[in-house]
Structure 1
């Protein structure tokens, strides 16, 4: 284990300038409080806490990487974490907002058609056409849970409702594609290696994204 003085020095370094907004650093006793307050416009203590922790941890890990000046062989895992973490934050806020204010609209817009085998009819009916056997099915329109929909549909819907801009949507979708590349087999297939610029770009989406979502809450949500 590292000496206590060394550990304190590392933690103090990581917390130094960890808050992006320089004007509000002195308003909170601990950096973690700033990160939770950053999402307070959602007015939900539980989601605010989880988002604040996720953002703080993403920043903390980046500070460790930069402070130790890790080589490529040692920082890939941190970059992967950054990409996954930021993509998760953006998706969580969009999903939460859609679920809270537009759940019915969303699910009606993206109804899915499902076909279920009708076993009772199968026992008495056999359908053959051009030497091919066909099974009788029941057609049903179903509402798919929002969390199971793709990021493309969720961001498209968010743009249509004025939650985010098209420009921000494009950046989030691009980030999400990087997130999918992080998986080991996908990275193997595409020979993908995360880059520091990608982690920085993922972080840079945060401010305009939050400004747009916060504006939606302030002007649209009553």
Structure 2
């Protein structure tokens, strides 16, 4: 049975009361020129904040708190990933940092004629020993093989994201903390009795939200410096 209109109105008013208007979200993700992706990012960000206010108002506990925390981490991790991927693959494809992210060095077996192999075996191998010769070769990864931490490190090398110092003089390692948020998204503790795990996840969800501000600002500042996208 649905809630009464008065109750629903009160809930929506509470959740939307301190949230930004539509223009703020458009300005926030203005550097995403793909309209569909920008719309999806805005929707995701708005839903995160709405859900946070809802669970905050309910003073969620135990399994409900775990669910809320897990959703927060999953959603913020998705935004971080989508933004970094878009920026790297659309604006920095021709850079050394992008190339190093996409390629890795792998051992590759070399082919020789039978005469050549016989000569090599006579010098290097022991009797009845099978000998193979390899050399190091640069090979491009499949796009799905490029890990998120590698994308973050490429973004850091390009100056898109970097460490900052807060007002208290503490160093905040933005790239490392974003990697931590992303790596933890599938490791949320689901058992209410694991209080230490729940507290850690709760702290991490708050960190995921707080780092979004400098993360977006740093990327926009770098794009402006490099005159990329809408900042040409």
**Are 1:95 and 2:96 matched, yes or no?**
no
CA contact (8 A) 2:181 2:208 kept: yes
Higher relative contact order (CA 8 A, sep 6+): 2
> How many residues get paired?
201
**Are 1:83 and 2:84 matched, yes or no?**
no
1:179 is matched with: 185
TM-score for the superposition, normalised by structure 2 = 0.72
2:141 is matched with: 144
Stretches of structure 1 that go unaligned for 5 or more consecutive residues are 20-30, 118-127, 185-190
Highest Rg: 1 or 2? 2
Which is worse superposed, 130-139 or 162-171? 130-139
The structure carrying a bigger helix percent of its residues is 1
Q: Deviations over 1:89-140 (max 9, x none)?
A: 11111111110122354553142356899xxxxxxxxxx9877778999997
Q: Which of 100, 104, 107 is equivalent to 1:109?
A: 100
After superposition, the CA RMSD in angstroms is 3.2
TM-score for the superposition, normalised by structure 1 = 0.75
CA contact (8 A) 1:15 1:60 kept: yes
1:169 is matched with: 175
Cα deviation for residue 214 of structure 1 reads 0.7
Stretches of structure 2 that go unaligned for 5 or more consecutive residues are 110-124, 164-172, 191-195
Q: Deviations over 1:42-80 (max 9, x none)?
A: 233122111111111111110110011111221211110
